[in-house]
Structure 1
Amino acid sequence: MTHTDSPPPSLYAAREPIFPRRVKGTFRTLKWWLMGAMLGIYYITPWLRWDRGPSLPDQAVLVDIANRRFFFFMIEIWPYEFYFVAGLLIMAGLGLFLFTSAAGRVWCGYACPQTVWTDLFILVERWVEGDRNARLRLHRQSWNIEKLRKRAVKWTVWLLIGLATGGAWVFYFTDAPTLLQNLIHGTAHPVAYITMAILTATTFFFGGFAREQICIYACPWPRIQAAMVDEDTLTIGYRDWRGEPRGKASVEGNGDCIDCMACVNVCPMGIDIRNGQQMACITCGLCIDACNDTMAKIGKPLNLISYMALTDETRERAGQPPKSVWAHVFRPRTVMYTVLWAGIGIALVVALFLRASIDVSVTPVRNPMFVTLSDGSIRNTYELRLRNKHGEDRWFTFAATSDAGFLLTLDGEPGLKVLVPANATKTQRLFVTAPAHSLGAEAARTDLRLWIQDLGTEAVPSNDRVHHDTVFNGKGE
């Protein structure tokens, strides 16, 4: 007997292209509406205008990197206020945890950019090449004029969508109409062209070719979600106790499932939900629409496949009614996420409306701690950073309150007034002097409160003022 070495089995499985069939139903309609709304928001938002005055940009939503600010309609966020952005990111994470713990991977199935653009690309593919069977035939046939023509049309539309996607993204970072003109005339900054090229290529590849591979292999969320769900989480499941054994409806003893494969043919991930919950399932609900359509045609009860929880499965197998949706949604875990989410949101709103209109930072100069002048007086130096958040130049003035008498002077300014340009930060040195033999000069440390007042403009005077507590260093031991 001759022993022949056989090659080891390959651990790599070649990707089988997925061609989802068109389906109608509640969840498909919901996905269409959500896709239209989210794409509309993404593409239209950079073109919305918001009047902020003559010296500020009028784009409603703008990430102004050059001037280090973020504008969102009436809200203006400065770099030192990044805690607002951090708070929004935390809220986004908690919101994702909340929805996942309540209804599984609804983010993946309905709102994830990969899902939204893949749906759009499949819509274009179906429009150009036909529904599932036609696309399968085109995929299997050899290259000819028809296949080349359809692929060229499809890829061209995909590239245009990718270009619009990249274009919309760069419009968020500068004035959209101006950038559009510069892009057309070839005078835009190279970074704009590079960013658009990268986003066009990634959108084209991810939405047109990678599709479910991104969800399965590149995205970490399918693995993280296991920690977010429990036995009361609503997710898509197959009632096998009702559907098995599969077969023709006319055969006595068969279950409700006639093994029509409709649920598999419409799945954008190419899985069979009847095999149980799987990591690849994005809970988009299309299999529910397909199965309900079949059940309606053969006169069987609907929801052989539907959103359900593990606790519902146990109850239904025992002949008991499932829990209500509200019982699944409102439970300790989801309530905790909701309270945390709402608490952070309320804190951000309060911080937004309570933030001071004048923003000043005061830093004592420590080297040296103080200077003894020729007349014996003691002088301390303070570094002031004055931020003018308004759209016009503003005058600021200064005063001090303390148990000791102090004299204030500004470096390079004849009086105690300084002009801060619009939407800018000005650094100014303030000298605080204690006369010789005064309480402030003789003591080691004296509490000092500096007052900064915004005088506004001649046309619109202002009395806004803030204070900053610091200390004055004297020559005492």
Structure 2
Amino acid sequence: MLRANVEPEIRRIDMPDGSIVQQGAAQTAKVPLYESQKTIHPKAVKGLYRRLKTITFSVLLALFFIAPWIRWERGPDAPAQAVLFDLTTPRFFLFWIEIWPQEIYYLTGILIVAALGLFLATALAGRVWCGFTCPHTVWTDLFVWIERIFEGDRAERIRMEKQPWTARKILRKAGKHAGWLALSLVTGFGFLAYFTDAPVLLHDLVTFQASYEAVSFFAIFAGMTYVMAGWAREQMCMYMCPWPRIQTAMLDEHSLVVTYQADRGDNRGPKRKSQSWDERRAQGFGDCIDCGQCVQVCPMGIDVRTGEQADCINCGLCVDACDSIMIQQGLPTRLIAFDSLAAQDTRASGKSYQWRLVRPRVIVYALLMLVIGGAMAWSFALRPSLNITVLRDRAPLFVTLSDGSIRNAYTFKVANKTRQNRSYTLSLAGLPNAEIKVIGEAEDESAAHTATLSAEPDSVATYRVYVTAPRAAVTATSLPLTFRLSDTGTSEKNSHDSVFLGPAN
């Protein structure tokens, strides 16, 4: 006789606190809807990748904090800071390079090249950017270092978290947060110094003379540093940053990622001191002694032995931790190593593997970077120091004067990108016998077909220009018209195509 499987009746009860109570015939269980994030206490480790991380973030932090203090002489009435996003001008200064708002496409190009560089780095070595050079990783590493100074290493911090609040615990916690706050304030100043003159900003903040805007942004930058690097940490990478989900599309089987050599390490389990490795292998165990050091040093709190994970930032600290254990056990290192999935599959089949650096996606990313970067460099090298913009009035489209001639009005803008006063000659082409009149400028009867304009250094001069043509010359409702501007002191010229409108014949 077959016995039918009878599911016990389960009732679901929504509780006022938001949790769910499931009641069945055997038991009543309360299932929480939300579980608090468990604090990750990464353990300190020594090794190759730890040294690389320390060197990298030391160089990056030095560049970040020193760059705003580098001086660069650009002449009178020009900022002397080498790297400056000047929002009052507005201009972007990078040593001898000056980017105007109209040239925002250069910054767009830089961002595109940077994104392609990130794609290329990911295709070669996974999330190596995240593990070594991401600003969030750099500052989090520094915050953890401060935490370790005041509260000790991982085991001591965990013990202290479980202990009751005492004067000693309060002092250690206060010291840690004071260090975090001090670093956050310095970081806030560092960010803000890229948008205004650093020495002036420091003086204004110290003497409480800074503007409301400066203080507000200083507080925002400092506060975000304190929250993100001190409290969010791995949660920023896991839940807020989109890159872990995007980077999987950049990887292939030849990308170098942190991997666990399962064919060598498994089955894993603790090893007794009295147990020899021959006895251990005879029982079916591998080289991994399941010490958990790779998990304890991981800033993301993941176990790389469970397989490839999007949350792994390829920092290599688990490699250092595992290598130190392998050395203690007298075994070969690189049980956990930067390796490719193709290499693991090839070695598992008993064949030799040669890492492929040149691959289709690598070639595509590198070529795109080369083409876009080269085009930007070429465009920047040939960019003129004189730009003009012409806007024709839309209302009225044209005006018929008392003598029957037709007049169009234009707004004419001259961008002088040099540091000297410039004088220009404006002329027309495409409309016979047309005359130019610049509002506010003295008229020269002998030069009715040209006009003289001027522009101050590093500025945009705006003029109101009238173009008048005889009625007989206006043979259509729309005629092509070209404004030509030439620098009287140099040979530089520029032109802008527009139209001249008139009545229907």
Q: Normalized against structure 2, the TM-score is what?
A: 0.87
The one-letter code matched in structure 2 to 1:43 is F
| Structure 1 residues 129 and 403: alpha-carbon distance in aligned structure 2, compared to 1, 3 A threshold | closer
The one-letter code matched in structure 1 to 2:36 is A
- Pairing 1:68-467 to 2, within 5 Å after superposition: 68-246=90-268, 247-248=270-271, 250-251=276-277, 252=279, 253=281, 254-324=285-355, 327=356, 329-402=357-430, 404-415=432-443, 416-435=451-470, 437=472, 440-442=473-475, 444-455=477-488, 461-467=489-495
- SS of 2:373's partner is helix
Q: Percent identity of the aligned residues?
A: 43
1-structure distance, mates of 2:367, 2:119: 12
Q: Is the 8 A contact 1:442 1:475 kept in 2?
A: no
Give the drift of 1:403: 6.5
Q: Is the 8 A contact 2:426 2:453 kept in 1?
A: no
| Structure 1 residues 474 and 191: alpha-carbon distance in aligned structure 2, compared to 1, 3 A threshold | closer
Unaligned segments of structure 2, at least 5 residues? 1-7, 9-23, 444-450
1-structure distance, mates of 2:159, 2:134: 30
- Could you list the per-position Cα deviations for residues 90-114 of structure 1 after superposition, in whole angstroms to 9, with x for gaps in the alignment? 1222222221122111121111111
The one-letter code matched in structure 2 to 1:172 is Y
Q: Is the 8 A contact 2:406 2:469 kept in 1?
A: yes
| Structure 1 residues 474 and 218: alpha-carbon distance in aligned structure 2, compared to 1, 3 A threshold | closer
- Could you list the per-position Cα deviations for residues 17-51 of structure 1 after superposition, in whole angstroms to 9, with x for gaps in the alignment? 22222211111111011101111121111111111
1-structure distance, mates of 2:234, 2:478: 67
1-structure distance, mates of 2:171, 2:63: 33
- SS of 2:84's partner is strand
Q: Is the 8 A contact 1:61 1:73 kept in 2?
A: yes
Q: Which residue of 2 aligns with 1:63?
A: 85
2-structure distance, mates of 1:118, 1:75: 33
The one-letter code matched in structure 2 to 1:356 is P
2-structure distance, mates of 1:267, 1:366: 64
Q: Is the 8 A contact 1:55 1:391 kept in 2?
A: no
The one-letter code matched in structure 2 to 1:378 is I
2-structure distance, mates of 1:80, 1:397: 23
Give the drift of 1:289: 0.9
2-structure distance, mates of 1:234, 1:353: 38
The one-letter code matched in structure 1 to 2:245 is R
The one-letter code matched in structure 1 to 2:56 is L
Runs (4+) of structure 1 exceeding 6 A deviation are: none
Q: Which residue of 2 aligns with 1:20?
A: 42
The one-letter code matched in structure 2 to 1:414 is A
Give the drift of 1:444: 4.6
Q: Please say which of residues 117-126 and 2-11 is displaced more in the overlay.
A: 2-11
| Structure 1 residues 164 and 471: alpha-carbon distance in aligned structure 2, compared to 1, 3 A threshold | same
2-structure distance, mates of 1:442, 1:313: 78
| Structure 1 residues 205 and 467: alpha-carbon distance in aligned structure 2, compared to 1, 3 A threshold | closer
- SS of 2:483's partner is strand
Q: Which residue of 1 aligns with 2:32?
A: 10
Q: Which residue of 1 aligns with 2:5?
A: none
Q: Is the 8 A contact 1:441 1:476 kept in 2?
A: no
2-structure distance, mates of 1:118, 1:372: 70
Q: Please say which of residues 19-28 and 367-376 is displaced more in the overlay.
A: 367-376
The one-letter code matched in structure 1 to 2:486 is Q
Q: Please say which of residues 39-48 and 283-292 is displaced more in the overlay.
A: 39-48
- SS of 1:174's partner is coil
- SS of 1:7's partner is strand
- Could you list the per-position Cα deviations for residues 40-93 of structure 1 after superposition, in whole angstroms to 9, with x for gaps in the alignment? 121111111111110211111111112222111111111111111111121222
The root-mean-square deviation of aligned C-alpha atoms, in Å, is 2.1
Q: Is the 8 A contact 1:387 1:423 kept in 2?
A: yes
- SS of 2:28's partner is coil
2-structure distance, mates of 1:199, 1:445: 54
1-structure distance, mates of 2:479, 2:34: 75
2-structure distance, mates of 1:26, 1:42: 24
| Structure 1 residues 377 and 146: alpha-carbon distance in aligned structure 2, compared to 1, 3 A threshold | same
Q: Is the 8 A contact 1:398 1:453 kept in 2?
A: yes
Q: Is the 8 A contact 1:232 1:311 kept in 2?
A: yes
1-structure distance, mates of 2:123, 2:190: 33
1-structure distance, mates of 2:386, 2:317: 54
1-structure distance, mates of 2:232, 2:397: 64
Give the drift of 1:230: 2.2
1-structure distance, mates of 2:324, 2:353: 22
| Structure 1 residues 156 and 468: alpha-carbon distance in aligned structure 2, compared to 1, 3 A threshold | same
The size of the alignment, in residue pairs, is: 467
The one-letter code matched in structure 2 to 1:276 is G
The one-letter code matched in structure 1 to 2:435 is L
Q: Normalized against structure 1, the TM-score is what?
A: 0.92
Give the drift of 1:237: 0.6
Give the drift of 1:145: 2.0
Q: Is the 8 A contact 1:55 1:392 kept in 2?
A: no
Q: Is the 8 A contact 2:180 2:230 kept in 1?
A: yes
Q: Which residue of 2 aligns with 1:458?
A: none
Q: Please say which of residues 134-143 and 161-170 is displaced more in the overlay.
A: 134-143
Give the drift of 1:376: 3.2
2-structure distance, mates of 1:475, 1:3: 92
The one-letter code matched in structure 1 to 2:35 is A
2-structure distance, mates of 1:443, 1:20: 78
